[in-house]
A and B are shown apart, each in its own frame.
Chain A
Amino acid sequence: MTHQPSDLPVTIARAPSLGERLGDRAFRGLTLACALGVLLLLVGLVVVIGRQAQPAIERFGVAQLTSDTWSTNQDVYGLRPQIWGTLYSSVLAMLLASVLGVSAAILLAEHFLPAPIERLIKTTVELLAAIPSVVYGLWGFTVLIPLLDGPASWLHRNGASIPLFSTPPQGPGMLPAVLVLTIMVLPTITAIARDALAAVPERLREASLGLGATRWQTIRKVVLPTALTGIFGAIVLAFGRALGETMAVVILIGNKSTVTLSILSPATTLASFMATDFKEADSPLHIASIMVAALVLLLITLLVNIVGSLLVWRASRNLRGL
């Protein structure tokens, strides 16, 4: 029998046509360009800000970061209160938010609740992330601050010897800013920590329970340590968000260039300071100093985010073998 290969399709596979190959190439090029574009954008940002900051860097040098006075009258611009306020407010918010957020994440990941209620709580927490920060700020200013007036006065009366409460409360200040920041970063921590906990293989839990451990022991000794790096990564990413928060902090923190441990005192942060000061900046040195503040903030957030990403990456790598 004569075989006629040309009539019968042996396979549907065929070499890609020229058009398809070009299309593939073009698409790859496009994605590469986009990815490089993002990188260029960041580099461009740093270069432009850095160049504008140059007059201040040349004039003040590192001393600017450790000086307390910011005075347009004297044309002196020290950034220590802003740097301190940024770090202090974010660290305090992280302490509170990590306790609350990780607890909520455990509750949601370990199926303590009936599924519908679990879903409800999960959605509610995630919804917190969708509220614009100015709304948090206004809520804090009109509701939270008046509520705190009483307790804050009590804390100062009875705990003035403790550095945390050593200054008389004035309403806007570190305390309301920290509390609102806590609420704002809660969804980030809860969502990522929950994912980290859920990624712990079910086998580990079963093994632990099988060896006679209680549920609490299982969570504490097996699940949490396994997910620890992931949880820590969640906290660090949330930290990055708290560092850069602007609008809510401007409204709540009282905008005072002070360096104090007291949470009842007004303070300021790099981001909120830039927002209030930039519009009125006139002298070249003033504008340059605001750019230095931007540079410092960029650097801090960048560092924190790199550390956070590394931790999350390590966590997922460690779990791959399980």
Chain B
Amino acid sequence: MRVALACLSMITLLTLIGCNKSVNNTGKDGQQAVTLQGVGATFPAPIYTRWFAEYNKLNPTIKINYQGQGSSAGIKNFMEGLVDFGASDSAMTDDQIAKAKGNVLMLPLTAGSVVIVYRLPGIDNLKLSREALAAIFLGKIRKWNDPRIAACNDSSVRLPDLDILVVHRADGSGTTYALSAHLSAISEEWKKDKGVGQKIDWPTEGFVGVNGNDGIATRVGVKDGAIGYVEYSFAHKKDAPLSTAILQNKAGEYVRATVASGTAALANTQLPENLRAFIPDPEGKDSYPIVTYTWLLARKEYPNAAKAKAMRDMLTWVLTEGQALSEELGYLPLPETARQQVLAAVNTIKP
């Protein structure tokens, strides 16, 4: 994974160097060649790079470079005008929008589920109630055979007398943001003590911090008694699938993370006018409880007409044909109403 990322950034760098010259050249069909630069969240980086590569195959005159450096970097670079678009798992705060003088469109292009992964020999159908989930991540439940975990599982699930090791992200992350938003919605104690953020002040005893989604997946994959949280696709790698917990949603039902249960969670939430909707605790009895949109940050007005047109065309493609790629890469396609809303917003990009 890391190696792949390194290769990717290398290639991006090389194309970057190679492309600077071509900005003002004209393509074969006489259309002006355009290069768009973007920086931001790593959560959607796999699907973004795939989209942009596919789009470039169809439209060779438009090149799009994306670097996954984290949501904070995306927002910073975007506000400073260093890139044509940013990307963030936590959208932008009202303060940040004000600083950008309102010249910003937050466009949810895709969504993802955060799954709870664990390793317990012989147990692959672990259920966690809302109370148990919050207590584990607060460090209040320290053993797997705790009655609060046993209470929500069938008696056929033989919980071992094993210490719980919570593996969390040490770096700032949109995945942590989504998890902490959910935990804040279901637990008063979490909301008060830990709050919502890309980085959390985790408890120390029985907790360990590692780098990246793949760091958590690797550690939970080998250590008995470990539990962690990753973006959906990291739990379903072909060579090393991990056990994922079945979580209790707002309606009280226990739901496993699938594309269907994730899409159900999205479908039950209306996007507001500014398209910034967090779904910390989705309604509906088929909904998987931890889902998050991830936003591309575009400008309402670009100084360059060719760039504005390229952004409009590319985003329109992503929101139509591009959506079909979501499922293959482990993301959730946008629900139809949301998709129409975002498309309408894309069409307002000027000039």
Given contacts A276-B171, A279-B73, whether A251 and B211 have CB atoms under 8 Å apart is: yes
Given contacts A251-B211, A251-B215, whether A280 and B222 have CB atoms under 8 Å apart is: no
**B267 an interface residue at 8 Å Cβ cutoff?**
no
**A205 an interface residue at 8 Å Cβ cutoff?**
no
**A172 an interface residue at 8 Å Cβ cutoff?**
yes
Q: Which residues of B contact A256 (CB under 8 A)?
A: 202, 204, 207-209
**A257 an interface residue at 8 Å Cβ cutoff?**
yes
Cβ contact within 8 Å between B171 and A279: yes
**A24 an interface residue at 8 Å Cβ cutoff?**
no
CA of A75 to CA of B263, assembled, Å: 38
Least Cβ distance of A195 to chain B in Å?
Answer: 35
Q: Which of B12-20, B33-41, B193-201, B334-342 contacts A (4 or more CB under 8 A)?
A: B193-201
**B28 an interface residue at 8 Å Cβ cutoff?**
no
**B345 an interface residue at 8 Å Cβ cutoff?**
no
CA of A172 to CA of B171, assembled, Å: 15
Give 1 or 0 for each of B55-75: 1 = CB within 8 Å of chain A CB: 000000000000000101100
Cβ contact within 8 Å between B201 and A254: no
**A277 an interface residue at 8 Å Cβ cutoff?**
yes
| Pick from B72, B201, B210: contact of A279, CB under 8 Å | B72
Q: Which residues of A contact B72 (CB under 8 A)?
A: 279-280
Chain A: which residue is nearest B76 at the CB level?
A279
Cβ contact within 8 Å between A172 and B219: yes
| Pick from B70, B172, B194, B208: contact of A254, CB under 8 Å | B208
Q: Which residues of B contact A230 (CB under 8 A)?
A: none
Taking residues whose C-beta sits less than 8 angstroms from the other chain, chain A's interface range is: 20 to 34
Cβ contact within 8 Å between B194 and A73: yes
**A173 an interface residue at 8 Å Cβ cutoff?**
yes
* Segment 219-233 of B: residues with Cβ below 8 Å from A: 219, 222-223, 226
**B165 an interface residue at 8 Å Cβ cutoff?**
yes
Least Cβ distance of B241 to chain A in Å?
Answer: 17
Q: Which residues of A contact B259 (CB under 8 A)?
A: none
Give 1 or 0 for each of A132-156: 1 = CB within 8 Å of chain B CB: 0010001001100110010000000
Given contacts A171-B165, A171-B223, whether A276 and B170 have CB atoms under 8 Å apart is: yes
Cβ contact within 8 Å between A258 and B204: yes
Q: Which residues of B contact A72 (CB under 8 A)?
A: 197, 199, 201
**A168 an interface residue at 8 Å Cβ cutoff?**
yes
Chain B: which residue is nearest A260 at the CB level?
B204
Cβ contact within 8 Å between B206 and A170: yes
* Segment 244-263 of A: residues with Cβ below 8 Å from B: 250-251, 254-258
Q: Which residues of A contact B193 (CB under 8 A)?
A: 73
Cβ contact within 8 Å between A280 and B208: no
Chain A: which residue is nearest B171 at the CB level?
A276
Q: Which residues of A contact B70 (CB under 8 A)?
A: 279
Q: Which residues of B contact A134 (CB under 8 A)?
A: 2
Least Cβ distance of B177 to chain A in Å?
Answer: 10
CA of A258 to CA of B202, assembled, Å: 12
Give 1 or 0 for each of A163-184: 1 = CB within 8 Å of chain B CB: 0000010111100000000000
**A71 an interface residue at 8 Å Cβ cutoff?**
yes
Q: Which of A170, A250, A251, A254 has the most CB of B within 10 A?
A: A170
How many residue pairs, one in A and one in B, have C-beta atoms under 8 Å apart?
77
Give 1 or 0 for each of B98-127: 1 = CB within 8 Å of chain A CB: 000000000000000000000000000000
Q: Which residues of A contact B170 (CB under 8 A)?
A: 250, 254-255, 276
**B218 an interface residue at 8 Å Cβ cutoff?**
yes
**B163 an interface residue at 8 Å Cβ cutoff?**
yes
Q: Which residues of A contact B210 (CB under 8 A)?
A: 141, 172, 251, 254-255
**A266 an interface residue at 8 Å Cβ cutoff?**
yes
Least Cβ distance of A2 to chain B in Å?
Answer: 74
CA of A201 to CA of B54, assembled, Å: 69
Cβ contact within 8 Å between A141 and B171: no
Least Cβ distance of B184 to chain A in Å?
Answer: 12
Cβ contact within 8 Å between A257 and B199: no
Cβ contact within 8 Å between B199 and A138: no
Least Cβ distance of B205 to chain A in Å?
Answer: 8
Cβ contact within 8 Å between B208 and A149: no
Given contacts A138-B2, A257-B204, A279-B171, whether A73 and B195 have CB atoms under 8 Å apart is: yes
CA of A278 to CA of B322, assembled, Å: 35
Given contacts A277-B199, A279-B73, A280-B172, whether A255 and B218 have CB atoms under 8 Å apart is: no
Cβ contact within 8 Å between B219 and A171: yes
Cβ contact within 8 Å between A146 and B222: yes
Cβ contact within 8 Å between B199 and A149: no
* Segment 129-173 of B: residues with Cβ below 8 Å from A: 163, 165, 170-172
Q: Which residues of A contact B218 (CB under 8 A)?
A: 141-142
Given contacts A73-B195, A171-B165, A250-B170, whether A266 and B215 have CB atoms under 8 Å apart is: no
Least Cβ distance of B188 to chain A in Å?
Answer: 15
Cβ contact within 8 Å between B209 and A149: no
Cβ contact within 8 Å between B222 and A149: yes
Q: Which residues of B contact A171 (CB under 8 A)?
A: 165, 208, 219, 223, 226
Cβ contact within 8 Å between B165 and A170: yes
Least Cβ distance of A134 to chain B in Å?
Answer: 8
CA of A177 to CA of B246, assembled, Å: 35
Cβ contact within 8 Å between A73 and B208: no
Q: Which residues of A contact B223 (CB under 8 A)?
A: 146, 149, 171
Least Cβ distance of A166 to chain B in Å?
Answer: 12
CA of A222 to CA of B46, assembled, Å: 62
Given contacts A149-B223, A250-B170, whether A280 and B199 have CB atoms under 8 Å apart is: yes
Could you name 14 residue pairs across A and B whose Cβ atoms are closer than 8 Å? A73-B193, A141-B218, A146-B223, A149-B223, A171-B165, A172-B208, A250-B170, A254-B208, A258-B204, A266-B204, A266-B208, A277-B199, A279-B70, A280-B72
By a beta-carbon cutoff of 8 Å, the part of chain A in contact with chain B is 70-73, 134, 138, 141-142, 145-146, 149, 168, 170-173, 250-251, 254-258, 266, 276-277, 279-280
Nearest 4 interchain pairs by C-beta: A280-B172, A255-B209, A255-B170, A254-B208
